[in-house]
Amino acid sequence: MVKYLRSFGWEPIIYTPENPAYPVLDQTLQNDIPEGIETWKHNIWEPYEWYKKFTGRKKSEHVFSGFMQEKKKKGWKDDVALWIRSNFFIPDARTFWIKPSIQFLTEKLNDAPVDLIVSTGPPHSAHLIALGVKNNTRIPWIADFRDPWTKIDYFHQLKLTKASRTKHESLERDVLVNADAVSCVSWHWADDFKTMSGRSVLVITNGYDEEDFNNIIIEPSERFTISHIGSMNADRNHKSLWSALQRLCADLPNFKLDFQLVLIGKNDTQVYDDIQKYNLGANLLHLDYLPHNQIAYYQCNATVLLLSLGNMPSVHGLLPGKLFEYLAARRPILVIGPDDGDSSRIVRETSSGITCNFNDEQKLYQQIGNWYSKWKSGSLSIEQHHIEQYTRRNITKQMAALFDTIVTKSI
């Protein structure tokens, strides 16, 4: 969003930790920050180094909050560490950044006021910082939710006491009720937030940056590739897909030779176990990590792009950022998830692919087989509609219009 805000009359100031612990650091994303953008930084303490030391992990190992345990076998130390993280780090591992940040930003803004505060979470500690700063300065504030809070996909994995769960819910309501406006990225999640707070919530989805897809070389492929970009945790590992692919290998001449499964990102160990179990190991190409500026090549050169959603309560509102990059790649999209979910809605409305429910192995078998036959004959293509509404520039335009509205109301 920062990249295009100046085009709509807004000059952003970014507040970020001085010394953050990121699970993956992609320096190429710095290219999206325009020259001259002012950045404020303040030190942060996070528990990840303690967590790795306590559980016997390597210092170089990354910790992903979405599935905190990546080991195949988890010991009692992992359980204890997760319990501590769940009940002493509320709302998240950045909790000890909240009070120092409120003090730091209040002092900065008293000296150099701004027109508007925008907090983006997760981490939802960012919203609590903004709440505190708003209370101190009376500057209008927009709370922008990129993911849910108490309905985020890993919330059910936290070992919360009743008191901790209640605290999460109370803090979430405080943010929803006290922000001057609330936005989120999907329609189902907007309905959830509205139910919690009794207020309207504006939907401003994620989007794709057209510049990421300029000058991508499309190379003829001798393989029928199904590519998944990003992490695949246990909730997104659907045996119906592996079984359908195994059957296709057995039933269709040459499918076993032509097919390649491309996984780019960090995945749960069970994913690899199942790939071997269903005799697909020889068809797998796994790349652990690629910088963002290289991913578009693999997206545009895939035969089919796989969007595997987690089978969890919040799935109907799940709109991963990669879905919009998939749209920009202009390749058929296979969504594994609910037909009435928001991801399915966008794929359907843009004529970009097909949705198969989690356990619908037969539909997966038929659809992949159909795409394979068309690929084999050289006739596989899609005719998309209206994907331009999801460019990052257009999404930023929507957000800037919200900024204008809130500032005008506060005058």
Domain that residue 167 falls in: 2-207+392-410
Give yes or no for a contact between 343 and 335, defined as CB atoms under 8 angstroms apart.
Answer: yes
362 token code pair: 């037969």
Q: How far is CA 178 from CA 51, 143, 198, in A?
A: 34, 9, 12
Would you write out the chain's pLDDT as a tens digit for each of its 411 residues?
Answer: 899 999 999 999 999 988 665 555 445 556 667 888 999 998 876 666 655 666 666 655 655 553 344 445 567 777 787 788 788 889 988 898 999 999 999 999 999 999 999 999 999 999 999 999 999 999 999 999 999 999 887 887 888 999 999 999 999 999 999 999 999 999 999 999 999 999 999 999 999 999 999 989 999 889 999 999 999 988 899 999 999 999 999 999 999 999 999 999 989 999 999 999 999 999 999 998 888 889 999 999 999 999 999 998 899 999 999 999 999 999 999 999 999 999 999 999 999 999 999 999 999 999 999 999 999 999 999 999 999 999 999 999 999 999 999 999 875
How far, in Å, CA of 140 to CA of 4, rounded? 21
180, 134: one domain: yes
Q: Tell me the three state secondary structure of residue 104.
A: helix
CATH number for the domain spanning 106: value is 3.40.50
226, 184: one domain: no
333, 273: one domain: yes
CB atoms within 10 A of CB 12: 17
Q: Tell me the three state secondary structure of residue 193.
A: helix
pTM (2 d.p.): 0.88
Quote the distance between the C-alpha of residue 36 and its chain's center: 28
240, 256: one domain: yes
Eight-class DSSP state of 398: H
CATH number for the domain spanning 267: value is 3.40.50.2000
